[in-house]
A and B are shown apart, each in its own frame.
Chain A
Amino acid sequence: MVMEFFRRGDSGLERIESRIISMLGDARHSFDLAANVVLSGGDPGLVAGDIRDTDDRINQTEQELRSELVVHVAVQGSTDIGTVLGYTLLIKKIERIGDQAKNILDLAFEGVSFADAPDVAELAAHHQTVSALFGEAAELLSAPDQAAIDDYRHRADELRHHFEDKLRGYMHSSEPGSEVVPRAILYRYLKRIVANLAGVLTTASEPLQHQDYFDAGQTDIDDD
């Protein structure tokens, strides 16, 4: 451990950044497993252990990263304070995505399955779209490109509004509750995951005081 001092390596923030990206990879893994089970009607028990372990890893990484961010400020001073505070928000968002993946798995444990549902193709397409957003977010975190980030946020915003519309539709639907409620809950989780993913990239492009808001601080997107 002392020898670490003599080795050359990444700077503190570079290391933190790469751990955040791997945390994002873990969150995607959990999301994919949970969504696949709900969409395919598989046995949730088969993936529960993996999702639980992945979530534990995400939680552990979150705690370690918080410590590392404190160490970074203690050693480097306030130079990177904006980035450090942004990262504390960012890692919380990824941790929440892990929890939301677990919530989707809970739907499967409650017996929800869309395997034979008429809208399974639409739901599967949404799953693929959201899953791809994880990969894009990871790429944009490691190589930020403002135009691509803006485009990502725009697409995420549209997707969020689409899920919101679906959710509102189910709230006023005359279909039986057993049809409507699982879909409303799933769309609610998908919406939150997309909002959190967009929030992850916001930390890379927006001033700290406007993070979690759109329109220069006018629109709160964090808890809607």
Chain B
Amino acid sequence: MSEGPGIGEQREMRWQVRAVVVVALIYLFLIGVSALEAGIKTMGADTQEQLFANVSNPLAGLFVGILGTVLVQSSSASTSVIVGLVASGALGVDDAVPMIMGANIGTTVTNTLVSLGSMRQTNEFRRAFAAATVHDFFNVLAVAILLPLELITGWLSDIAGWISEQLVGSAGSDWKSPVKEWVKEPVGWLSDFWEWVGAGGNGLGVLLVITGLVIVVAALTLITTNMRTLVADRMERSLNAVLGRGGGMVAMMLGLVITVAVQSSSITTSILVPMAGAGVITLRNAYPVTLGANVGTTITALLAALAASSPEALTVALVHTVFNISGILVLYTIPRVRDIPIICAETLARVAADHRSWAVAYVVGVFVVVPVAGLAILN
């Protein structure tokens, strides 16, 4: 069971190689975001307007955010794309805010799907489904409270805009991001390649956008896979340290740290689901970990904003962070309110454990039917 001499050194070497690969993948990810921005900019103003006319309705933006995230199963990927779109100027910050909130809801589909895996064991399923859907309920409630407030007052984009202004300058100015300079050359090569193939005008823009999207999703997937392997032992140790001893802030901080490390809230929350199903972690202890993961996952969009050339890109990335922190302040700090998502999740889990088809209907309904039907009605 213990490793012989030399294996430890091999493991250390593999660790170092993986760390170098992750750094290279982050660079690739930034190239993807920048290519996306460049692609949109290459398209004419009319095309840009046509592309994003539908999301000027906040509910439509919300549904697009949910569907886009469900499709790629990663809010990190979808919010990075939104940051790229805002950086290109094709999408305004106000239109992007509901999309960001939608991405927050959409990302919870992954752990809810994971919980369906324990459907055959009634009690295990009830616990796992509750641990998964507490995240859904928190995000839906946060959107239900904070989106109307944002639409009325614009407070969220104001706060994010103010922070962004302190960091990189006012909206409308051209921010000289050093990261942008590092990725400029490879994005130029991509553009040259497609021009060499014969693309031009809108066609070139579309090809650059597609290339950017593929790079962003692929790089993020590989970053997540590698980082998960890199920090697995650390995750295991810290989860064991927190189990049964730490609720509240400690668990929240752990969720944040793990998610920042693996660049995916889905990984963090999907780890919790089987643990909750087995009864190793209670719903009340798992809940704050998911909230920490909500905040931690915003690091990717912030990273993406580094490759963008406009302060608005950073603003929309900060909207994601401020929104999730505000959600915690509103829904977690007051004990009675804190219990609402837990009670909702427990109730739904009880019903789902008795009627399994309801669980499937819930997942399909919330993450596919409602946003698709909503978009169809609004369009």
A is bound by B: yes
List chain A positions with a Cβ less than 8 A from chain B.
1-2, 4-7, 9-15, 17, 67-68, 70-76, 83, 141-144, 204
Verify if B239 is at the interface (C-beta below 8 Å from A).
yes
Q: Report the count of interface residues on B (CB-CB < 8 A).
A: 30
The reply to whether A70 and B238 form a contact with Cβ atoms under 8 Å apart is no
**Pair A5/B1 contact, Cβ less than 8 Å:** no
Across the interface, B233 reaches (CB within 8 A) one of A6, A12, A68, namely A12
5 smallest beta-carbon distances between A and B, as pairs: A12-B236, A5-B238, A4-B238, A1-B241, A4-B241
Considering residues B231, B243, B244, which has the most beta carbons from chain A within 10 angstroms of its beta carbon?
B243
Closest to B254 in A: A2
Report the nearest A residue to B249, measured CB to CB.
Answer: A2
Q: Given that A1-B245, A2-B254 are known contacts, is A15 also in contact with B237, CB under 8 Å in the complex? A: yes
**Residues from chain B with Cβ under 8 Å of A83 in the complex:** 1
Whether B242 is near chain A, meaning CB under 8 Å from some CB there, is yes
Bitwise, B19-31 to A at CB < 8 A (1) or not (0) is: 0000000000000
Q: Is B344 interfacial (CB-CB < 8 Å)?
A: no
Stretch with Cβ within 8 A of A (4 or more), from B152-160, B194-202, B274-282:
B274-282
* A-B residue pairs in contact (CB < 8 Å), sample of 29: A1-B241, A1-B250, A1-B254, A2-B257, A5-B235, A5-B237, A5-B238, A5-B257, A7-B234, A9-B237, A10-B233, A11-B233, A12-B233, A12-B237, A14-B2, A15-B240, A17-B1, A70-B275, A70-B278, A71-B240, A71-B280, A73-B274, A74-B272, A74-B274, A75-B232, A76-B232, A76-B236, A143-B2, A204-B1
Chain A residues within 8 Å of B261, by CB: 5
Contact B280 A141 (CB under 8 A): no
Asked, given contacts A67-B280, A70-B275, A74-B271, whether A4 binds B2 with beta carbons under 8 Å apart, the answer is: no
Report whether B246 and A1 are in contact in the complex, using a CB–CB cutoff of 8 Å. yes
B141 CB within 8 Å of chain A: no
Within 8 A of A (CB), among B224-269: 231-246, 250, 253-254, 257-258, 261
Please, which residue of chain B has its CB at the minimum distance from the CB of A76?
Answer: B232
Closest to A12 in B: B236
Contacts of B253 in A (CB 8 A): 2
* B232 x A74 contact (CB < 8 A): no
Instruction: Using CB atoms, name the residue of chain B closest to A17.
Output: B1
The answer to whether B1 touches A75 (Cβ under 8 A) is no
Report chain B residues within 8 Å CB of A1: 238, 241-242, 245-246, 250, 254
The answer to whether A141 and B1 touch (CB under 8 A), given A5-B238, A5-B258, A71-B280, is yes
Indicate if the CB atoms of B274 and A70 lie closer than 8 Å.
yes
Q: Which residues of A contact B237 (CB under 8 A)?
A: 4-5, 7, 9, 12, 15
Smallest CB–CB gap between A85 and chain B, Å? 14
Chain A nearest CB, measured from B18 CB (Å):
15
Q: Assess the A75–B236 pair: CB atoms within 8 A.
A: yes
**Beta-carbon contact of A75 and B257 below 8 Å:** no
Q: Which of A14, A67, A73, A144 contacts B243 (CB 8 A)?
A: A67
CB atoms of B274 and A144 under 8 A apart: no
Q: A70 and B280 in contact (CB under 8 A), knowing A1-B250, A5-B258?
A: yes
A67 and B278 alpha carbons, distance in the complex (Å): 9
List residues of chain A with CB within 8 A of the CB of B246.
1
Residues on B with beta carbons closer than 8 Å to the beta carbon of A74? 271-272, 274-275
Chain A contacts of B272 at CB under 8 A? 74
Residues of B within 8 A of A76 (CB): 232, 236
* Assembled-state Cα–Cα distance A11/B262 (Å): 18
A70 neighbours in B (Cβ, 8 Å): 274-275, 278, 280
A72 CB, min distance to chain B CBs, angstroms: 6
19 new A-B contacts, CB < 8 A, other than A71-B275, A75-B239, are A1-B238, A1-B250, A2-B254, A4-B237, A4-B241, A5-B237, A5-B261, A12-B236, A12-B240, A14-B2, A67-B243, A67-B244, A70-B278, A72-B236, A74-B271, A75-B236, A76-B236, A141-B1, A144-B1
> Are B1 and A9 in touch, CB under 8 angstroms?
no
B1 / chain A contacts, CB cutoff of 8 Å: 13, 17, 83, 141-142, 144, 204
User: In the assembly, what is the distance between CA of A83 and CA of B3, in Å?
Assistant: 14
Q: How far is the CA of A76 from the CA of B235 in the complex (A)?
A: 9
Q: Once the chains are docked, how many angstroms separate the CA of A143 from the CA of B1?
A: 7
The CA of A121 and the CA of B271, in the complex, are separated in Å by 55
Q: How far is the CB of A81 from chain B (nearest CB, A)?
A: 13
Which residue on chain A has the smallest CB distance to residue B250? A1
- Give the distance to chain B from A99, nearest Cβ to Cβ, in Å: 24
Q: How far is the CA of A85 from the CA of B235 in the complex (A)?
A: 21
Chain B 209-236 residues near chain A, CB threshold 8 A: 231-236
B238 near A2 with CB under 8 A, answer: yes
Candidate in A5, A73, A143, A144 with the most chain B CB atoms within 10 angstroms: A5
Q: Are B275 and A17 in contact (CB under 8 A)?
A: no
| A-chain residues with CB within 8 Å of residue B241 when the two chains form the complex | 1, 4
CB <8 Å contact, A2 and B271 = no
- Nearest A residue to B274 via CB reads A74
Residues from chain A with a CB closer than 8 A to the CB of B242 are 1-2
Determine the chain A residues whose CB is within 8 A of the CB of B233 once the complex forms: 9-12
For chain B residues 278-304, which have a beta carbon within 8 Å of chain A?
278, 280
Q: Once the chains bind, are A2 and B236 in contact (CB under 8 Å)?
A: no
Q: Name the residue on A nearest B245 (C-beta).
A: A1
How distant is the Cα of A72 from the Cα of B272 in the complex, in angstroms? 12
A142 CA to B271 CA, complexed, in Å: 29
CA distance A83 to B250 in the complex (A): 31
